[in-house]
């Protein structure tokens, strides 16, 4: 078990949805945290509450600049690397060039962390590293085990290839330089502060706007294992505590929920009596993506604690409490395919 109270910790992408929850989780464990973010999709206000503890330093910085990255890791014991050009499915499938910059960003962060001699480096990877051809048939009961990511690799879009390259780079840094590191493969996280470009929150937003017909992207048969953000944070911290050799571990529930089931759950919970309409012209991602989480249980003693039903209740409550209907409706459509800062209903912290 790591004694976090003696640690200086860097969280790159610290103003993001997951990053801001991770900063809070680390502060609760006693760490001093530097949150580095260029606010290209992160929102400074996500850190408002935790900044009050006096344990967090925020640095607005573009980590694609190697000198800035070197400065960000200076004096840090542990690094969690979450900064990325990323969005929901509507973004990553249509902005491959932008997502390719993650290849440089990850490489710079790994190199600078190694040079600075940090004790441990944990990388936010993704279910997008898994072969897409295995995830095509929603009627198949397939659970993705970590060992399925192997030659000949077949990642999901350039976003997934960049995640995969960072995982492989970390393994090489461990083998050749003894760098202590871990990769955590997140599977479709959701929860408070999740932007509208992710399916669950997009569907909550539609219910908030009382849309009828109520649109779902694709046939709605896509299966996901939506994983609540507190479980993602817990697994990420445990990975830093327990994995040193660059092993990549899935953080995802094994609950299988289709987009249509999710839509129905949201309509029931919000009391909206609308007709569901499928829009098959929209990007959907793979039709069957669910993690196997046995390795996380074995290596981290981790299991998801929040069921999809409970997490969805919390997320709906948060969304309805913190959004304004007029503001949401002004940029809702753009927010579905953007990087997150178009965050329907709330103002963006700063320009890109
Ligand atoms: N949300 C999910 O379901 C999910 C699933 C798999 C992996 N991930 C990964 O988890 C991490 C966090 O994702 P998220 O969904 O919470 O939000 P996000 O994708 O918006 O987070 C990325 C953060 O990095 C910052 N950033 C981007 N480029 C930067 C740069 N050059 N310099 C400094 N900061 C920069 C952004 O402003 C943002 O705060 C990302 O690495 C993402 O790829 C997320």
Contact 173, 235 (CB under 8 A): no
Tell how many helices (H) and how many strands (E) occur in the chain: 12, 13
Residue 40 CA: nearest ligand 1 atom is: 37
Task: Please tell me the pTM assigned to this model.
Answer: 0.96
Paired tokens of 2:
């790591």
Closest atom of ligand 1 to 163 CA is 43
CATH class, 191-224+255-337 region: alpha beta
State residue 347's pLDDT score.
41
For ligand 1, pick from 11, 12, 14, 19 the residue to mutate: most ligand atoms within 8 Å of CB. 19
Take residue 26 and report the two structure tokens written for it.
């680390």
What spacing in Å lies between the alpha carbon of 228 and ligand 1's midpoint?
16
Write the residue with the smallest CA distance to atom 40 of ligand 1. Answer: 82
The single-letter DSSP state of residue 342 is T
With a cut of 90, say whether residue 345 has pLDDT above it: no
Residues in the chain: 352
- Could you name the CATH architecture of 4-189+226-251? 3-Layer(aba) Sandwich (3.40)
| Residues 92-150: tens digit of each pLDDT | 888 999 999 999 999 999 999 999 999 999 999 999 999 999 999 999 999 999 999 99
- Residues 272-323 have pLDDT tens digits of 999 999 999 998 889 999 999 999 999 999 999 999 999 999 999 999 999 9
Residue 352 has pLDDT above 70, yes or no: no
Locate tokens 């949150």: which residue? 35
Q: What is the pLDDT of residues 52-104, one digit of tens each?
A: 999 999 999 999 999 999 999 999 999 999 999 998 888 888 899 999 999 99
Q: Using CB atoms within 10 Å of the CB of residue 231, give its burial: 0 to 12 exposed, 13 to 18 middle, 19+ buried.
A: buried
Candidate of 12, 15, 17, 18 to mutate for ligand 1, largest count of ligand atoms within 8 Å of Cβ = 18
Residue whose token pair is 């960003």: 105
Question: Please, are residues 27 and 33 in contact by the beta-carbon 8 Å criterion?
Answer: yes
- Ordered by start, the domain boundaries in the chain are 4-189+226-251, 191-224+255-337
What DSSP letter does each residue of 280-309 carry, written as one string? Answer: TTS----SB--B--HHHHHHH-----S-HH
Q: What is the mean pLDDT of residues 225-244?
A: 98
What confidence tens digit (pLDDT) does each residue in 160-205 have?
999 999 999 999 999 999 999 999 999 999 999 999 989 999 999 9
Torsion of CA 224, 90, 83, 157, to 10 degrees: 80
Those residues with Cβ within 8 angstroms of residue 307's Cβ, 6 or more apart along the chain or in another chain: 255
């Amino acid at each position: 078990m790591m004694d976090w109270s003696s640690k200086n910790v860097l969280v790159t992408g610290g103003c993001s949805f997951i990053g801001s929850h991770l900063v809070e989780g680390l502060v609760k464990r006693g760490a001093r945290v530097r949150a580095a973010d260029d606010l290209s999709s992160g929102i400074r206000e996500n850190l408002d509450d935790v900044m009050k503890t006096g344990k967090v330093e925020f640095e607005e910085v573009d980590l694609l600049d190697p000198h800035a990255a070197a400065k960000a890791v200076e004096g840090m014991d542990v690094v969690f690397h979450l900064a990325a050009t990323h969005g929901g499915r509507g973004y990553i499938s249509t902005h491959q060039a932008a997502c390719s910059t993650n290849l440089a960003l990850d490489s710079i962060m790994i190199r600078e962390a190694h040079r600075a001699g940090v004790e441990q480096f944990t990388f936010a990877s993704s279910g997008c590293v898994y072969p897409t051809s295995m995830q095509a048939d929603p009627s198949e009961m397939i659970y993705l085990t970590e060992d399925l990511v192997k030659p000949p690799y077949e990642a999901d879009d350039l976003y997934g290839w960049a995640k995969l390259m960072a995982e492989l780079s970390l393994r090489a840094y461990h083998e050749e330089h003894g760098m202590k590191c871990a990769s955590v493969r997140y599977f479709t996280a959701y929860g408070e502060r999740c932007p509208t470009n992710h399916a669950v929150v997009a569907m909550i937003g539609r219910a908030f706007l009382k849309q009828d017909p109520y649109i779902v992207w694709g046939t709605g048969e896509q299966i996901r294992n939506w994983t609540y953000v507190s479980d993602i944070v817990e697994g990420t911290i445990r990975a830093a505590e327990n994995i040193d050799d660059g092993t990549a571990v899935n953080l995802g529930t094994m609950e299988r929920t289709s987009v249509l089931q999710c839509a129905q759950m949201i309509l029931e919970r919000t009391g909206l009596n609308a007709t569901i309409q499928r829009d098959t012209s929209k990007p959907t991602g793979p039709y069957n993506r669910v993690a196997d989480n046995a390795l996380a249980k074995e290596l981290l003693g981790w299991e998801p604690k929040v069921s999809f039903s409970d997490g969805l209740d919390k997320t709906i409550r948060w969304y309805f409490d913190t959004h304004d209907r007029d503001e949401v409706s002004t940029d809702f459509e753009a927010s579905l395919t953007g990087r997150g800062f178009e965050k329907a209903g709330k103002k963006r912290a700063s320009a890109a």
